[in-house]
A and B are shown apart, each in its own frame.
Chain A
Amino acid sequence: MAEEFNTGDMLSVYLFENQQLIENLQNIVMDQKDADGFDEDSINEIFRTMHTIKGSSGIMMFDEITKVAHRLEDIFFYLRESHPDGVPHQDLVAHVLDVADFISGEMDKLSDGGEADGDGSAILSELDTFLSEIKGEKPGTKKKEEPRETEEGPKQFYIAPETGNGSSYFKIYLTYNPDIEMASMHAYKTVFALKKIAEEVLYSPEDILTNPESSDLIVKEGFKIILRTTSGEEDIRQIVQPGYDLVKVEVYECTAKEFQMGFDAEGSEIMIDLESSVEDIERRSEQRAQGAKEEKKIAPGDFVVATKEPGKGKNLAKDRPKKTDKAAFISVDISKMDQLMDLIGELVISQSVVLQNPDLKVPGLNLDNFNKAAGQMKKISTDLQNVIMSMRMVPLTNTFQKMNRIVFDMSRKLGKDVAFEMIGDTTEVDKNIIENISDPLMHLVRNSMDHGIESNEERMAAGKKEKAKVTLTAKTESGKVFIIVSDNGKGLDREQIMAKARQQGLLEPGRAESSYSDKEIYQFITLPGFSTNKKVTEFSGRGVGMDVVVSNIQKVGGSLEIDSEPGKGSTMVLKIPLTLAIIDGIVMETGNSSFVMETSAVREFVHVTGDMMIHEPDGAESVMIRGECYPVLRLGEFYHIDDHQEDVEEGMMVIVEVDNKAICLFVDHLVGKQEIVVKPIPDYIKKVKGLSGCTQLGDGSIALIIDAAGLID
């Protein structure tokens, strides 16, 4: 049955929405973890979050997630309604985080194309115990599980009507809370649950799954179900229970004739009711609600569709917390943004064409007004450029919050009393980069917690008075983002690292150990398989990690610097570029063609003289520079470019280094260093060896980007 629902689209929407909910949830929890308890807004927010997750997971048939979310929702429902005292806040925080972890774990599985097959029973029983505790009940009085969450649905939705074999007919009217989202989904869930006991189900509006507007209709006019079943009213009420989302449930028995007439029959009745006064309807609906609570049967034909209950609405509005300054988002196709960026780039270029137009150079022109207008235009186009750049940027806040979470978890598990400080978490970085640095950052924070920070006793013994602290700092400096993970722990142990390096044979033979600088030594820990930690813990110490951290950072063009002061703590500085779409490049020319090479791949530029060249008999060339021999690649010949420089003394040698392999690239001359926007070479052009893309230079001309790695291979 699940396959009928789990279409890819629904799943991705489900994952996207719930991921955001979970992130939001974690942020709320982490914000208030040190308080004595959650404030009312947060309780409501968590409750709603769990409710939404429960609802959508139920629709998607992820039973374990539904159950877990439901149970946490129960707890927060209790907190919200009863305001109990003496709730152990730390435990509650841990429980919420456990649930968040469980759900995000399941969602990870789902987004990797797996199944949500995790077992939530451990968490469920913990939550049950916790709920009983805060309710002051004895543990063990577990709530009975709702059968609909586990039962397999029947394989058929509609069974052809048969003539009476003792089945009875019911009309059900459901009124939903106007505050819930996706009322249609809830309605469908109800229908789906009812199908288990029903022989035949009809419902109105019918297009709840396909028509997005049906949600509004359901909220406004209620949801109507007619069914034929052998079960009694009790069973139906068991399945359709009023709750937060379902404000009112009305069940009436009806005749077979009414059933066959379907919804047409009641149209007239609704009409009549609409004609009666509002008060009348309200009064009657209240009676009905009363009646429903008392499980009293109401004669058929006497029903009303309760459209709204003014009193109830007011209450809900009060319950709802003020919307805090939550940002509104829309998702935009990235290609549209690229297009916008292209156009703005072009606008800037054509602007300079206009403003520096030779026609303006005619002597004697009075350009005062023109210059004023031009200045204004420049300002606007600069703003425009900044805005589009900022659209790709996301603040590091969420990433940092995750680290907060890790520090919190680990400080409890390791028994270390650690404070966490975030500085500059609103610093914005390109979205792609955030995805790539999240894991390395997590690793660094774990390392700090595990190895950097001493245990409470050790700190006491060392006479450190200040509280152990891990600080995460982000700042932008000269076009790069610096993310700094620092702690005030024991720092790196130079001797220990040295000893390990010696043991693993990493030291250069014949070099005095004292000649290694601190930085050089600390770099050893970024080598694969290097760990000085004596024991492997849950969090770190297996010696896999720092090398992965470094390679991940390098992947986005970043670097890692390690600094440490024994006894005072260590500092890891991550330097990453602001964006991947813009690289720092060296522009050079050969013949009439411009090429760009990423600055990081260029080691140096050298003017060579003829006597430094080595010509091999097969035509291959090398050049000897300061005692080292580099193979020479003449770009002009390599790409058969006309009119390129032949004389090595007239041109320029660029030493390009990738992965410790270096070659000399011979070009005509250098143009300069420039930030360039990387664009792909159109598909129509087949892949050319050594070219990775193209870019537009300041004057609007096109330069080809040389992929150093591709060239060297």
Chain B
Amino acid sequence: MGEFDTQKGKYVTFQSGNEFYGLKIQYVSEIIVYQEITEIPESPEYVKGLINLRGKIIPVVDVRLRFRQEPIPYTDRTCIIVIQVNDYVVGLIVEKIAEVVEIQDENILPSPSIGKNDNSTKNKFVSGIGKVGDEVKLLLDPERLLRDEDVALMEHLNEEDSLEEE
């Protein structure tokens, strides 16, 4: 429980576009610098491929592409956040790591419900909005981030199947 306590309310934040996102620190196993990615054929665009994490081969997802934003070229600041959700170990490619912040529950607002159109794609993954000072962090639900992916992937494969059938 001690570990839980020290990690409670802490979020790893990263920047993507103009927005800052937060991930509960419990999900994050490590952060590594960007490294060579091996592409996997026939995978959705946002699944960039596989990386070799000290002998363990894990898939990586480009967060920008996942949010259907324009991709930007990878730089020295590009990082991979390795998260573990349920049994999956997945790397998230992010533009820039910001910092680890503490956000108490009372400073977290539920994500705005039926919002404007440009928000709807992000809302899928955002579980709440955390206030830190006068900044706002969009808090991600990693399970949704990956689970929705499954559905998306299934759809993707189904499309492919139906194309093949034709």
Binding site for B on A (CB under 8 A): 339, 341-346, 592-594, 638-641, 679, 681-686, 688-689, 691, 694, 696, 700-704
B153 surroundings in chain A (CB, below 8 A) = 686
Given A342-B55, A696-B55, A684 and B42 touching (CB < 8 A)?
Answer: no
4 nearest A-B pairs in the assembled complex, by CB-CB distance: A342-B55, A639-B41, A346-B55, A702-B38
B43 surroundings in chain A (CB, below 8 A) = 685-686, 688
A343 surroundings in chain B (CB, below 8 A) = 54-55
Taking a contact as CB atoms under 8 Å apart, the answer to whether A700 and B39 are in contact is no
Taking a contact as CB atoms under 8 Å apart, the answer to whether A686 and B55 are in contact is no
Given A346-B54, A682-B59, A594 and B88 touching (CB < 8 A)?
Answer: no
B136 CB to closest chain A CB (Å) equals 30
User: With the chains together, A184 CA to B88 CA distance in Å?
Assistant: 42
Residue of A nearest to B156 (CB): A686
User: With the chains together, A638 CA to B55 CA distance in Å?
Assistant: 28
User: With the chains together, A592 CA to B43 CA distance in Å?
Assistant: 16
Whether B19 sits at the interface, judged by CB under 8 Å, is no
Residue of B nearest to A685 (CB): B59
A-B contact pairs, 16 of them (CB 8 A): A342-B56, A343-B55, A346-B52, A593-B38, A594-B38, A639-B41, A640-B42, A682-B59, A682-B89, A683-B88, A684-B90, A689-B42, A694-B38, A694-B50, A701-B52, A702-B57
Taking a contact as CB atoms under 8 Å apart, the answer to whether A345 and B38 are in contact is no
Taking a contact as CB atoms under 8 Å apart, the answer to whether A684 and B59 are in contact is yes
A694 surroundings in chain B (CB, below 8 A) = 38, 50, 57
B149 surroundings in chain A (CB, below 8 A) = 684
Taking a contact as CB atoms under 8 Å apart, the answer to whether B38 and A684 are in contact is no
B151 CB to closest chain A CB (Å) equals 12
B19 CB to closest chain A CB (Å) equals 25
B166 CB to closest chain A CB (Å) equals 14
> Which listed residue (A345, A641, A685, A704) contacts B55, Cβ 8 A?
A345
User: With the chains together, A341 CA to B54 CA distance in Å?
Assistant: 11
Q: Would you give the 0/1 interface string for B107-126, flagging 1 where the beta carbon is closer than 8 Å to chain A?
A: 00000000000000000000
User: With the chains together, A688 CA to B43 CA distance in Å?
Assistant: 8
B40 surroundings in chain A (CB, below 8 A) = 681, 685, 688, 691, 704
Whether B146 sits at the interface, judged by CB under 8 Å, is yes
Binding site for A on B (CB under 8 A): 36, 38-43, 47, 50-52, 54-59, 87-90, 146, 149, 153-154, 157
User: With the chains together, A701 CA to B39 CA distance in Å?
Assistant: 11
> Which listed residue (A346, A682, A688) contacts B42, Cβ 8 A?
A688
19 extra A-B contacts, CB within 8 A, seeds A592-B39, A689-B42: A342-B54, A343-B55, A345-B55, A346-B54, A346-B55, A638-B41, A639-B42, A641-B41, A681-B40, A681-B57, A682-B58, A683-B87, A685-B43, A685-B59, A691-B40, A696-B52, A701-B52, A702-B51, A704-B38
A346 surroundings in chain B (CB, below 8 A) = 52, 54-55
> Which listed residue (B36, B38, B54, B90) contacts A703, Cβ 8 A?
B38
Taking a contact as CB atoms under 8 Å apart, the answer to whether A682 and B52 are in contact is no
B150 CB to closest chain A CB (Å) equals 8
User: With the chains together, A639 CA to B41 CA distance in Å?
Assistant: 5
A679 surroundings in chain B (CB, below 8 A) = 57
User: With the chains together, A212 CA to B123 CA distance in Å?
Assistant: 53
A693 CB to closest chain B CB (Å) equals 9
User: With the chains together, A477 CA to B36 CA distance in Å?
Assistant: 37
B54 surroundings in chain A (CB, below 8 A) = 342-343, 346
Taking a contact as CB atoms under 8 Å apart, the answer to whether A696 and B57 are in contact is yes
B87 surroundings in chain A (CB, below 8 A) = 683
Given A346-B54, A684-B146, A701 and B36 touching (CB < 8 A)?
Answer: yes
User: With the chains together, A633 CA to B54 CA distance in Å?
Assistant: 34
B89 surroundings in chain A (CB, below 8 A) = 682
User: With the chains together, A688 CA to B153 CA distance in Å?
Assistant: 12
A703 surroundings in chain B (CB, below 8 A) = 38
B42 surroundings in chain A (CB, below 8 A) = 639-640, 688-689
Taking a contact as CB atoms under 8 Å apart, the answer to whether A702 and B41 are in contact is no
B51 surroundings in chain A (CB, below 8 A) = 702
B163 CB to closest chain A CB (Å) equals 13
A347 CB to closest chain B CB (Å) equals 9
> Which listed residue (B39, B57, B154) contacts A682, Cβ 8 A?
B57
User: With the chains together, A583 CA to B56 CA distance in Å?
Assistant: 18
B144 CB to closest chain A CB (Å) equals 15
User: With the chains together, A640 CA to B39 CA distance in Å?
Assistant: 11
Residue of B nearest to A342 (CB): B55
B39 surroundings in chain A (CB, below 8 A) = 592-593, 641
B154 surroundings in chain A (CB, below 8 A) = 686
A339 surroundings in chain B (CB, below 8 A) = 56
Residue of A nearest to B41 (CB): A639
User: With the chains together, A681 CA to B56 CA distance in Å?
Assistant: 10
A311 CB to closest chain B CB (Å) equals 55
User: With the chains together, A689 CA to B43 CA distance in Å?
Assistant: 11
User: With the chains together, A82 CA to B142 CA distance in Å?
Assistant: 74
User: With the chains together, A684 CA to B44 CA distance in Å?
Assistant: 12
Taking a contact as CB atoms under 8 Å apart, the answer to whether B52 and A702 are in contact is yes
Residue of A nearest to B87 (CB): A683
B147 CB to closest chain A CB (Å) equals 11
A592 surroundings in chain B (CB, below 8 A) = 39
B56 surroundings in chain A (CB, below 8 A) = 339, 342
B57 surroundings in chain A (CB, below 8 A) = 679, 681-682, 694, 696, 702
B90 surroundings in chain A (CB, below 8 A) = 682, 684
Of listed B38, B47, B89, B153, residue having the most chain A CB within 10 A: B38
Given A679-B57, A684-B146, A701 and B38 touching (CB < 8 A)?
Answer: yes
User: With the chains together, A700 CA to B35 CA distance in Å?
Assistant: 11
B94 CB to closest chain A CB (Å) equals 18
Residue of A nearest to B89 (CB): A682
B122 CB to closest chain A CB (Å) equals 22
A593 surroundings in chain B (CB, below 8 A) = 38-39, 41
A594 surroundings in chain B (CB, below 8 A) = 38
User: With the chains together, A702 CA to B43 CA distance in Å?
Assistant: 16
B80 CB to closest chain A CB (Å) equals 14
A682 surroundings in chain B (CB, below 8 A) = 50, 57-59, 88-90
User: With the chains together, A696 CA to B55 CA distance in Å?
Assistant: 8
B32 CB to closest chain A CB (Å) equals 13
Taking a contact as CB atoms under 8 Å apart, the answer to whether A686 and B38 are in contact is no
User: With the chains together, A592 CA to B40 CA distance in Å?
Assistant: 11
User: With the chains together, A688 CA to B42 CA distance in Å?
Assistant: 7
B48 CB to closest chain A CB (Å) equals 11
B41 surroundings in chain A (CB, below 8 A) = 593, 638-641, 688, 691, 704
Given A593-B38, A704-B38, A704-B40, A684 and B52 touching (CB < 8 A)?
Answer: no
Residue of B nearest to A693 (CB): B57
B61 CB to closest chain A CB (Å) equals 9
